Amino acid sequence: MEKENASYGVKEIARRANVSTATVDRVLHNRTGVSEKTKQRINEIIKELDYQPNILASRLASRKVINLAILIPAVSEETNFWEAPLNGVRRAEAELKQYGVQTRVHFFDLNDKDSFAGKVQEILDQEVQGILLAPSFIEETKKFAELCHKRKIPFAFIDSDVPGVHNLTYIGPHLYKSGYVGAKLLTYRLNAEKKVLIINISKEIDNYNYQEIEDGFRSYFKDHDQPNEIVRIDIRETDYQSVARHLTYVFHLNKDIGAAFVTNSRVHTVASFLKNSHRTDVSLIGYDFVKENVGYLESNVIDFLICHRPEDQGYRGIMALYQRLIVNSSVTKLNYMPIDIVTKENYEFYQN
């Protein structure tokens, strides 16, 4: 028999608690003016009846606006990766607009901490109810997170995580396992006597995410007793000429490199170097389904791309804030995305 409790409403709760419907409404919407004793009695009855208020109908009637701030890197000449999460944000906004959800996107320069800090201040100077951000700069993100926590503004991370802060959720890859998968792919045609090169190309090298990826990568070699020596290079300049200069030096010192693993979407820069220097014997793996990378994947310079569905990350990030702010339901702290492997043979069918 279907549960009778589903038909109970505010009037029944008020009757059982011997209070007015207005008092029940105050408790349901966390308003003041109700004693703790009465509030406790009403909440007990709500739990007993398994009452679920029609939150969405209430939102439609209230016309109250929920402002969400989005803080992500700007699309640059180096990569168009951030178009995908932005598309996900727009898709979620279109679905939630009827409930008063509005988004405002703030773009920062991925190579400039001051740009990030400036946009943080811009957001905090506005009235926002929730924030979705890509935490590209660790220390600056921690400061931002603490301010949001003090102001009771829920915030969600996408693409990369910062441990030990009060974020509502993280939506993105399991970084350690992503690196582990990268190492497994890299060994598919790697000779035992060849060296492996890990390449970090970023002005922010001291990054939790790169370290997690690298830890996972190295663990695969350790777990499977791979004899290959691993060489690491950190390149802080992100333009092609700087990357080529550093790679020329490291390949000169290590003439027996057989494979390279790039820890972010700038793998196309390394692919360009390998092609220009005619190093067709080096296997290459990196991240993200962006146009700069796909061309080198198609021409066999890049062997594999590892992808984490960035559009879905943006979409699910907005939906997580919606669940918290409007539906008032719990949100899972860690939401790991699939680790997709894209090749020359399947890239035409891949949806980012």
Q: What does R_g of the chain's alpha carbons equal in angstroms?
A: 25
Q: Which CATH architecture has domain 175-307?
A: 3-Layer(aba) Sandwich (3.40)
Over range 134-158, report the average pLDDT.
94
pLDDT tier at 8 (50, 70, 90 boundaries)?
low
pLDDT tier at 61 (50, 70, 90 boundaries)?
low
Which range among 97-101, 248-252, 262-266, 314-318 shows the weakest confidence by mean pLDDT? Answer: 97-101
Q: What is the pLDDT of residue 7?
A: 43
pLDDT tier at 136 (50, 70, 90 boundaries)?
confident
Q: What is the pLDDT of residue 60?
A: 61
pLDDT tier at 5 (50, 70, 90 boundaries)?
very low
**62-172+310-337 and 175-307 share one fold:** yes
Over range 26-44, report the average pLDDT.
85
Over range 86-112, report the average pLDDT.
92
At residue 204, what is the residue type? E
Q: What is the pLDDT of residue 249?
A: 97
pLDDT over 90 at 351, yes or no: no
106 beta partners: 71
Q: Where are the domains of the chain?
A: 4-53, 62-172+310-337, 175-307
pLDDT tier at 31 (50, 70, 90 boundaries)?
confident
Q: What is the pLDDT of residue 4?
A: 42
48-59 pLDDT tens trace:
776 666 666 666
Q: What is the pLDDT of residue 56?
A: 60
Instruction: Quote the crossing angle between the two packed helices 83-96 and 310-322, to the nearest 10°.
Output: 30
Q: What is the pLDDT of residue 298?
A: 96
Do the bridges between strand 257-262 and strand 195-201 make them parallel or antiparallel, or are there none, so unpaired?
parallel
202-220 pLDDT tens trace:
877 556 688 899 999 999 9
Over range 327-334, report the average pLDDT.
87
Q: What is the pLDDT of residue 207?
A: 66
pLDDT tier at 166 (50, 70, 90 boundaries)?
very high
Decide which of 28 and 122 is more confident.
Answer: 122
Whole-structure pTM value: 0.81
Q: What CATH number was assigned to the domain covering residues 62-172+310-337? A: 3.40.50.2300
Residues 6+ positions from 171 with CB-CB distance below 8 Å? 156, 157, 158, 313, 316, 317, 320, 335, 337
Q: What is the pLDDT of residue 348?
A: 95
Residues found in the chain: 352
Which range among 57-71, 97-111, 151-165, 253-267 shows the weakest confidence by mean pLDDT? Answer: 57-71
Over range 311-337, report the average pLDDT.
92
Q: What is the pLDDT of residue 196?
A: 98
Q: What is the mean pLDDT of the chain?
A: 90
Q: Alpha-carbon distance 288 to 309, whole Å? A: 9
Which range among 206-220, 239-253, 262-276 shows the weakest confidence by mean pLDDT? Answer: 206-220
pLDDT tier at 152 (50, 70, 90 boundaries)?
very high
Q: What fold is seen in the domain 4-53?
A: 434 Repressor (Amino-terminal Domain) (1.10.260)
- Secondary structure, 3-state, the chain: CCCHHHHCCHHHHHHHHCCCHHHHHHHHCCCCCCCHHHHHHHHHHHHHHCCCCCHHHHHHHHCCCEEEEEEEECCCCCCCCCHHHHHHHHHHHHHHHHHCEEEEEEEECCCCHHHHHHHHHHHHCCCCCEEEECCCCHHHHHHHHHHHHHCCCCEEEECCCCCCCCCCEEEECCHHHHHHHHHHHHHHHCCCCCEEEEEEECCCCCCHHHHHHHHHHHHHHHHCCCCCCEEEEEECCCCHHHHHHHHHHHHHHCCCEEEEEECCCCHHHHHHHHHHCCCCCCEEEEECCCHHHHHHHHCCCCCEEEECCHHHHHHHHHHHHHHHHHHCCCCCCEEECCCEEECCCCHHHCCC
Q: What is the pLDDT of residue 220?
A: 98
